[in-house]
A and B are shown apart, each in its own frame.
Chain A
Amino acid sequence: MNSLEHLQEKVNYDKIFDCVQCGYCLPACPTYETMERETHSPRGRINLVKMVAEGKASVEDLRDPIEKCLGCMACTTVCPTNVQYGQILEGAKEVIEEHDVKSMAQKKVEAFLFESFFPSSNWMGTLGNATWLYQKSGIQKFVQTTYLTALAPMRLGRFERVLPDLPSPFERAFRKRRVLPDYKLRTTVAFFTGCVMDGIFFKTNQHTVELLRLAGAEVLLPKEQTCCGALHSHSGKGLSAKELAMTNIEAFDLEDVDYIVNNAGGCGAKMTEYPHLFEQGTEWHERAKEFAAKVRDISEVLVELDGLTFTTPVPRTVTYQPSCHMTNVQRVSEPPRMLLNNIPGLKVKELNRPDFCCGSAGIYNLVNYDESMEILDLKMIDVIERKPNAIITTNPGCLLQMKLGVERHGLEGEMEAMHLVDLLMEAEPAAK
């Protein structure tokens, strides 16, 4: 196979022809809006991938437009011809990874994340415990005041300031791996904890399990589960993603489990896409399909079970920032809103453009900090117009980003960012 043929196979060249270049994706693309050029639009990116596959441009020419794509997939929802942009984008990222033309910013962040945290089999708790130690030991304060972590390009310091207080390692170690409802057993589900969710938003995870239990579910937390692999796929590390997927498919290969529940829009999206990682006709492809068919967001399961009643009014005004991957990949958009509408006393104000990405986008806000903040600022204008006292999210990346948005705009006294699950707990749910 010559190198052009190899490139064409890698970038899913045949799928590019589904794009008729109508431009209907332009108004949906956040980076086209902020970066003001076709080069940073879905249609422009797809065309550049095609040019590279035809030898008319180099992989280096492709790097910047692809690295600056949020991967929010808003374009796929408005695309009239159903172009598989996600697969074209991941193919392009693998080509960039293979050709080793990534920018220094991208390389540094990836080295930090994938080499320090993700490869270790026991990293989930480790990340959280390290963060806990870091907060409790006072290092956090030291670091924040000395700008140690504000070093380009990661600007981790900006994010550290918005981290929640974490549970101690003991709490984490003694978590229950199986819980049962008090009354009627309606279903058995397995809970996918996610790595950032479990590491940083451990309490939200515990709340998720409790909500499921109250709604009538037996909840299992398989111990062997691992990272969903979304960040790996989005960084062109398809092979690592595949290995992680296999571990998860094994870990969740449990009888009598109706759903594999998660509370992170991005992870849920990746897991519904597991079948793409394996060749059609193989046993793993079949297993991945079975796995993916069971994946559900917590909001979907709570709406379906309809087993909760909320006992305390929540006198808040909130706005809802949906996770792009939940909307555009999982195609789940109504259930979270239905739950919000069920909370007594709660006022919900829809954003003007809820489907416009917040700029978090996996590790995008670490790699492309400035571009990400431009998008976040547009989002915050929309948020501020609603005058909420909470921004509700359904994904850890969005949650951190919205917390950052609140801080960045000096609104700490006025509003907070929270996960939908934590808001539901405020209404003191009980079994129906």
Chain B
Amino acid sequence: MGKWMDHLTEVLPEKQVMTELADRHSYSFDASFGEYMPEAVVQVKNKHEVASVLKLANEYKVPVYPRGSGTCLSGGPLPVHGGIVLDMSQWPEEIDVHADDLIVYVSPSVRTGDINQAAEAYGLMYAPDPSSAHVATIGGNLAENSGGPRGLKYGVTKDFVIGLEVVTPEGEIIKTGGQTIKNVTGFDLTKLIVGCEGTLGVITEATLKLMPKPPAVQTLMVSFDDVRVAGQAISKTLTSGILPSKMEFMDQPCIQAVENFRPAGLPVEAAAVVIIELDGRPEAINVEKELVENIMKEIGATRTTVPETGEEAERIWHARKQVSPAIAKIKPTKVSEDATVPRSKIPDMLDRLNEIKEKYDVEVVVFGHAGDGNLHPNVLCDKRDQEEMERVELAVEELFQAAIDLGGTLSGEHGIGTMKAPFMESELGEAGLDMMKRIKDSWDPNNILNPGKIFPEKGQKLVLRNE
């Protein structure tokens, strides 16, 4: 180890290389499960520094794990095989809006929410809105292909990237895509890099698409006394010529948890609520609002609340934001999943989740971006209770299988990382997974960049327990 470490301090300013125990502990985790100690944490501030670190890593065969703000829910930045954590968060921030071209150039350390804010100054918006947008970096969002509530109407991170600057695993600086919306020159490497979870390259600059900011929004909150009806209401709305910007779902345990945590006036007797946001021109929204109200009445919703003021609407969305902290009060450990199914299968998925909950005697609450089938079943448990965690592992395995059986996918927006790697083959098949592995092997012959992610190791199983 000594040799590469000495070499590191030669190619980078001393202050940017951390090796103290306290510092290494501080980069050993993210917002998911597990701690893994790196040998060094390196803060990079320009593409040449990234290139030097990767060249050195190839020379000495040391693994490198790119990391943004460490808000990842799937273990993307965890240094599972030791080596170097590449901290991108201290990179100088740059947001360069080119309003006439409807694009923005950003550096990887910029917080996603700040991009949208900068765009708003020009009457534009950056649509992807993961709930951690005020903390997470765009670099992390790109690597994980993050989603968010607005994904329903506008799509996810990958739909907004037209060009990247990337340092390859072997330390070469390349450009992918460009500055134009239409671009069919060669393979679409941009889309390959976005969502690669940091296994194929380190993103050092991105060119993102902006769009006009809708002038108005309207929120509606609909209550149901049957979860299945809530699921049907979502499909019915989307097949009636209306595309809301958000359709969020909360089941009864979530509603009750929020009301116990910080009362927000949610209907505690409801089996489920769906919170809808329409956006666009005010005249159009008014028409759509009435259509949605009629659909809900016809399908058998128990109540539709239409907030009159922006503040009332804000209160409803605030209640939705409180779900995460509120359910953490039920039990301290949250296993937060994002298995996603075709929209029409939401009622079936909800049934399957109920069966899993009973079968393994675990607490499961469900909320999420139901409009695009991206549910967030959360298993609530206590990681200090080994016996319970064993049941949780089995429940989560079955939950993944349920999503796949219904024609869905393991992960809608959090990424595969370490936890979901063991299930890759059951979704993609042996050959499908092997094609991905071949891409990885040719891009990164020494397996330097973020090893241990996406691809399962021999016999790897889901583990939520500490040994």
Contact = CB atoms under 8 A, between A and B. Distances in A.
B26 A20 contact: no
Given A26-B69, A80-B324, A81-B328, A20 B25 contact: no
A24 B135 CA distance: 6
B179 interface: no
B90 interface: yes
A266 B136 CA distance: 32
Given A21-B30, A21-B31, A23-B135, A47 B71 contact: no
A21 B43 contact: no
Nearest to B322: A80
Contact of A23 (B18, B20, B31, B325): B31
B452 interface: no
A407 interface: no
A82 interface: yes
Given A36-B43, A57-B21, A65-B22, A47 B29 contact: yes
Interface string B318-339: 0001001100100011100000
Given A37-B23, A57-B21, A26 B135 contact: yes
Indicate the member of A18, A39, A51 with the most B CB atoms within 10 Å.
Answer: A39
Interface string A168-185: 000000000000000000
Given A22-B132, A36-B43, A57 B22 contact: yes
Contacts of A48: 22, 25-26
Nearest to A21: B31
B22 A39 contact: yes
B191 interface: no
Interface string B113-141: 00000000000000000001011100000
B70 interface: yes
A82 B324 CA distance: 11
Given A20-B334, A38-B70, A44 B26 contact: yes
A37 B18 contact: yes
Contact of B134 (A27, A38, A47, A61): A27
Say which size band chain A's interface belongs to: 20 to 34
A48 B28 CA distance: 11
Given A21-B31, A22-B31, A24-B132, A39 B26 contact: yes
A17 interface: yes
Contacts of B134: 24, 27
Interface in B1-44: 18, 20-23, 25-31, 41, 43
Interface string A52-82: 0000110001101100000000000000111
A17 B325 CA distance: 13
B328 to A, nearest CB: 5
Nearest to A65: B22
Contacts of A81: 324-325, 328
A203 B22 CA distance: 46
B109 to A, nearest CB: 11
A161 B332 CA distance: 51
A20 B333 CA distance: 8
A140 B328 CA distance: 56
Given A23-B69, A23-B135, A36 B26 contact: no
Interface in B48-86: 69-71
Nearest to B382: A17
Nearest to B136: A23
Contacts of B25: 39, 44, 47-48, 51, 56-57, 61
A36 B325 contact: no
Contacts of A64: 22
Contact of A62 (B22, B324, B325, B384): B22
B111 interface: yes
A62 B20 CA distance: 11
A13 to B, nearest CB: 10
Given A23-B132, A26-B69, A36-B43, A80 B26 contact: no
Contact of B325 (A38, A65, A82): A82
Contacts of A17: 332-333, 383-384
Closest 5 CB pairs of A and B: A44-B26, A80-B325, A38-B26, A39-B26, A23-B71
Given A27-B111, A37-B26, A48-B22, 11 more contacts: A21-B70, A27-B134, A36-B43, A37-B23, A38-B26, A39-B18, A39-B22, A43-B70, A47-B29, A48-B25, A51-B25
Interface of A: 17-18, 20-24, 26-27, 36-39, 41, 43-44, 47-48, 51, 56-57, 61-62, 64-65, 80-82
13 contacts: A17-B332, A21-B29, A21-B30, A23-B31, A23-B69, A37-B18, A39-B18, A39-B23, A44-B26, A48-B25, A61-B22, A64-B22, A80-B325
